[in-house]
Amino acid sequence: MKLKLAIQKQGKLAAGSVEMLRKCGIAFSEGNGKLRVEAENFPLEIFFLRDDDIPEYVADTVADIGIVGENILAEQPAEVEIIERLNFGRCRLSLAVPRNSDIVTISDLNGKRIATTYPLILKKFLQSQNVRAEIHTISGSAEIAPSIGLADAICDLVSSGSTLFSNGLREAFTILESEAVLITRPSLPKAAAEILDKLRFRIRSVLAAAGNKYILLNAPTEKVAAISRLLPGMRSPTVVPLAEPGWVSIHSVIGANDFWAVIDDLKAAGAEGILVLAIDQMIA
C-alpha cells in the first residue's frame, strides 16, 4: 500500500514541493521527464502533473493527496479539503491597471474590460462589489492585454510585482491571498490515512522548524537569569559550563523573526559569541 501524492511537474510550485518532501526525509529520483516515481524510503508514490489537474485527480481517487496553490481551488472548486498550509508559493490574485489609468476605486471598473485566467474568482469578486465589467477569459500572459488594447485592466497572480512593473502596470486591488496547500479528499481508505498521518507529522516538524532558529551564546554565570528571560525556548534554555570558570554557554530556540528584536537586549545583558543556526526538524 502506498499513498499517492500529486505535485506540479514544472512551474512555480515544483521546486518548493520537491524541497518539502526532501526536508521530510523522503528520497526519490527526479527528472528524465518522469511522470511517476516511487519514494525509496517511505510508502509514497509521486505523480508529476499540471497544477490545474491536481484537485480533480485527488477528488477522483487517482491521487490521495496533492500540493496546489489555494488560488487553483478557488477557481476550480473540487471535492477536496485543505489539510496543511505549506508556507511557500505565496502570491496574491490582484487587479492591475496601466500605470497612468484613471481607474482608482473599485467602482471605476464599471463598464471596463478585464482580462484574466481566473474568471470565476473575478466574477464573484465583481458581484460582491456591485461592479459590472466585461470579463475576457484568456489562457495566459494577461499582463500584455492592456498594451495590445484587449483590456483596460487585468486580474492575475502577483508575487514580487516585477512582471506588472515591467509591463507598465500597477497593482490596484488584491482579491485573494494564496500559498501552497496540501489537499486530500474526505474518507481516504484507512491504510492511506495512516501513511498520511505519518507524512503530516513530518511536514509539521519541518514547518515548525522553518519558523525557528537555534541560538547559542556565551555569558558570565551571573547573567544566566537575565538572558534566560529573553530566551524562553521550548521549555527553558540549556545552560552548559564552559572550560573557563565563571562562564557558561546558553542554548535555546527562538522565533526566526524574533531574533533581531532581542539581539540588542542579549548583548546588553552580557551575551557574547552569539551563533544563530537553522533547524531542520522540530518536534514539540
Stretch that binds ligand PRT, among 46-54, 186-194, 232-240, 276-284 (CB under 6 A): 46-54
Q: According to CB under 6 A, which residues from 176 to 205 bind ligand PRT?
A: 178
Closest to ligand PRT by CB, 130 or 160: 160
| C-alpha closest to that of 167 among 101, 89, 117 | 101
In whole angstroms, give the CA distance from residue 24 to residue 207: 10
Among 4, 7, 21, 51, binds Zn ion (CB under 5 A): 51
Q: Smaller CB distance to Zn ion: residue 51 or 64?
A: 51
Residue nearer to ligand PRT on the CB measure, 76 or 218: 76
Subset of 91-110 contacting ligand PRT (CB under 6 A): 91
Closest C-alpha among 118, 114, 115 to residue 74: 118
Report in angstroms the alpha-carbon separations of 4 from 80, 160, 213, 215, 227.
15, 33, 32, 38, 48
* 144 vs 274 by CB, closer to ligand PRT: 144
* Site size with ligand PRT, rule: CB under 6 A: 22
Closest-CA residue to 161 (of 100, 99, 253, 84):
99
Output the smallest distance, CB 172 to ligand PRT, in A.
Answer: 14
Is the C-alpha dihedral spanning 48, 49, 51, 56 positive or negative? negative
Is 52 a binder of Zn ion (CB under 5 A)? yes
Q: Residue ranges of the alpha helices (H) in 4-48?
A: 14-23
User: Per rule CB under 6 A, is residue 64 in the interface with ligand PRT?
Assistant: no
Other CB atoms within 10 Å distance of the CB of residue 159: 12
Contacting residues toward ligand PRT, per CB under 6 A: 8, 10-13, 50-52, 69, 71-72, 89, 91, 156-163, 178
Contacting residues toward Zn ion, per CB under 5 A: 51-52
